Structure 1
Amino acid sequence: MAEVEKKEEEVAAIEMSMRRRTFRVLLGIFLILFVYALYFAKDFFLPVVLAFMLALTLSPIVRVLSWRGVPAPLSATLLVLVSFTGLSIMGFLLSGPVLDLVNDAPKIGRELRERVSEIRGPLTRFVEASEEIENVTESGNEPDVQKVVIAQPGIVSRAAGNLLSFGTTVAVTLVLSLFLLASGSLFYEKMVQSFDLMSDKKRALRVVYDVEREISRYLLTVALINSGLGVAVGLCCWAVGLPTPFVWGVAAALLNFLPYVGSLIGIVLVGIISVVTFDTLATAMVAPLLYFACTAIEGQFVTPLVVGRRLEINAVAIFIAIAFWSWLWGFAGALLAVPILVIVKVFCDNFEVMRSFGNFLGAQHTNDTE
């Protein structure tokens, strides 16, 4: 009898092991197919994710206004209209300076090469030698060989296509976020109705509200902090006499959604413009140093004090997320990488089965402060 029970236990263990392996294989296949879907259906998923992010960011404002008697559809409409107006005004103000920077890019490149000519002498000789070798190689080709060049779309057509795609993304994002904000707690009610037991309904509702509250507060707070950083950087650039300070302020606010990487990119760009704008190297270093000071104060004092350290993500996870989402959706994906990572961490912290993964995503001192 004991041997029969032992064999049954072994069979049960083998079946459980097979089930786990099957589940892992199916999960891996699902993740691969999901990533492929995100990549090839970017034009659909990107505005949807942006709409959910915008709705989560503005949901605390809608809730506060609803407590004061303002209907959710009215407050949602006003907020979306204000967002659209702000984006339109910002786009209009940025269009001129950005076009000027694009048109002046060759001139900026020449001036930058002139300024750093004393430290690029060996590199110049290497490039010239490479060009001479390439010319000798091409001159040795047979005269009958013809080069076929595939005509590429013109700059105007590419710009028109990109502008149309950008406009469509913005329109879908704003309309979908309007419906999400105006619907109020409709999605939560539908979710609760899917459970049978009252205890499960209460637990699901509590978890959903906790997740929404943490994410919305984080997104809204970080958006306000980044806006303040953009204002500070813009004022610093204006104070030192850097051209188009408004552009660098907006760039600082957007790039700050990319921890570590964004501030480095902003400092390098401001440094390049400073080098070609000012006469001396000492004067040119003032603007990037002020940019660095603003980001250091924001990263070391303002954000930890206002947001807290519970939702901090470790640097390795941040770099992996930025690399993955930038490969998947380009610059927009890079900007969304950290907010998506924070959303994943909040979900993991609120579900026991995923808490270990949430702890992996968190910073080293997360457990000490909770």
Structure 2
Amino acid sequence: MAVDQEIAVIPPAEEPEDLPLPSDPKVIFLGGLFILAVLAAAYVASEIVLPLVFAIILKLLLQSSMRLLERLHVPRILAALLLILALFGTIVGLGAAISGPAGTWAAKLPEGIPRLQERLSFMREPINTLQRFLQRVENFGATTPSPTAATSAQGPTLLTTLFTGTRNFASGFFTTVLFLFFLLLSGDIFLQRLVEIMPRFSSKRQVVEISQQIESDISAYLVTITIMNAAVGIAMGLVMWFTGVGDPILWGTVAFLLNYVPILGTALGVSVFLLAGLLTFDTLWQALLPAGLYFGFHLIEGETVTPMLLARRFTLNPVLVIISLIFWFWMWGIPGAILAVPMLAVVKIICDRVRPLAAFGHFLEG
């Protein structure tokens, strides 16, 4: 008699679903051209695009406060004006508070150059050697310019440079305020119009989900780093006060602002606080103390606390963060470096939600 035997079939383990990759060469080619065109336009029209991007980021930062004022039945136009006045009133107040100490330190710097040269005499020979090497490289294969060419190649005067920089800053500041006011005033009107033109319900829902996640994650990122930067600024202000350097508001503001720029801001901050220590103290260990404490605060805040607070929302590939930082610094200078991480986070959120771009979003993940 035949014996029926039941054979247990073990189902194969579920493999992760493959991320879709664009395979049509035309799509890839057109996508690359579109990205290059957008970047070229952002570079050429930086006087308009940069204030607009800054205004969008500031709008995300102020959105929760805007909704709180609306729940208190404050008219939207009045709420927008109050938030802008509070934000830029704080900026102007800080600028007025640090302008005097900053001028004092700027006047002290030329007098302290001989002292710095004496303190850093051990570095003089390596620097001179490097300068001679760079001069040889620069002069390699170059012809001696004529006196006429040398005269015509002279750069602008210091007064012209300062005037141009002040004018550009004032123009960008005014444009940012104008954009921010109308963005706060318009509320979610752009999102509503975008949802209305979507053909399918799934597309409408996807647009709303992307918008909500961008607002939630970027707002959390901006609020978190602002609070942490303020903590670093307060700590450095107290350090400069207790160590005898003085001007705690100035140095706290410097630490607060530089901490918005990843990596480059830290390097510049260490250099600035080292310079302040060398100009103030006679002993080397005292001169190194402000820069050392600033770097220690950065390690605690930037490498431990802030990543722990933000890890649940999103993580970014650190190599791509550095590349983005350098690229946007080249494109837009210091403002571009400040905006590099938020813009990269926005790109990742969009890629994670749009299925054809999911592979690229996975590539951006840390």
TM-score by length of structure 2 reads 0.83
Q: Is the 8 A contact 1:254 1:335 kept in 2?
A: no
Aligned residue in 1 for 2:73? 69
Aligned residue in 2 for 1:306? 309
Aligned residue in 1 for 2:278? 275
Q: Do the aligned partners of residues 281 and 87 (structure 1) sit closer, same or farther apart at CA in structure 2, a change above 3 Å counting? A: same
Q: Is the 8 A contact 1:322 1:337 kept in 2?
A: yes
CA–CA distance in 1 between the matches of 2:129 and 2:267?
Answer: 29
Report 1:220-235 matches (<5 A). 220-235=223-238
Q: Is the 8 A contact 2:210 2:349 kept in 1?
A: no
Q: Do the aligned partners of residues 263 and 276 (structure 1) sit closer, same or farther apart at CA in structure 2, a change above 3 Å counting? A: same
Aligned residue in 1 for 2:357? 354
CA–CA distance in 2 between the matches of 1:29 and 1:317?
Answer: 21
Q: Which amino acid aligns with 2:301?
A: E
Report 1:136-285 matches (<5 A). 148-150=150-152, 151-285=154-288
CA–CA distance in 2 between the matches of 1:161 and 1:62?
Answer: 35
**Which of 75, 78, 88 does residue 82 from structure 2 map onto?**
78
Q: Do the aligned partners of residues 203 and 30 (structure 1) sit closer, same or farther apart at CA in structure 2, a change above 3 Å counting? A: closer
Q: Is the 8 A contact 1:56 1:212 kept in 2?
A: yes
Deviation at residue 19 of structure 1 after TM alignment? 8.5
CA–CA distance in 2 between the matches of 1:258 and 1:111?
Answer: 30
CA–CA distance in 1 between the matches of 2:245 and 2:108?
Answer: 15
1:153-205 deviation line (CA, Å, top 9, x unaligned): 32222212211111111111112111111212211111111023344323422
TM-score by length of structure 1 reads 0.82
Q: Is the 8 A contact 2:206 2:353 kept in 1?
A: no
Aligned residue in 2 for 1:43? 47
Aligned residue in 2 for 1:316? 319
Q: Is the 8 A contact 1:211 1:350 kept in 2?
A: no
Q: Which amino acid aligns with 1:92?
A: A
Q: Do the aligned partners of residues 23 and 120 (structure 1) sit closer, same or farther apart at CA in structure 2, a change above 3 Å counting? A: same
Aligned residue in 1 for 2:291? 288
1:49-68 deviation line (CA, Å, top 9, x unaligned): 11111111101111223233
CA–CA distance in 1 between the matches of 2:91 and 2:27?
Answer: 45
Q: Do the aligned partners of residues 129 and 228 (structure 1) sit closer, same or farther apart at CA in structure 2, a change above 3 Å counting? A: closer
CA–CA distance in 2 between the matches of 1:145 and 1:188?
Answer: 61
CA–CA distance in 2 between the matches of 1:180 and 1:196?
Answer: 26
Deviation at residue 240 of structure 1 after TM alignment? 1.0
Q: Which amino acid aligns with 2:325?
A: I
Q: Is the 8 A contact 1:115 1:276 kept in 2?
A: no
1:56-115 deviation line (CA, Å, top 9, x unaligned): 110111122323333333222110011121111122223333333344443333321110
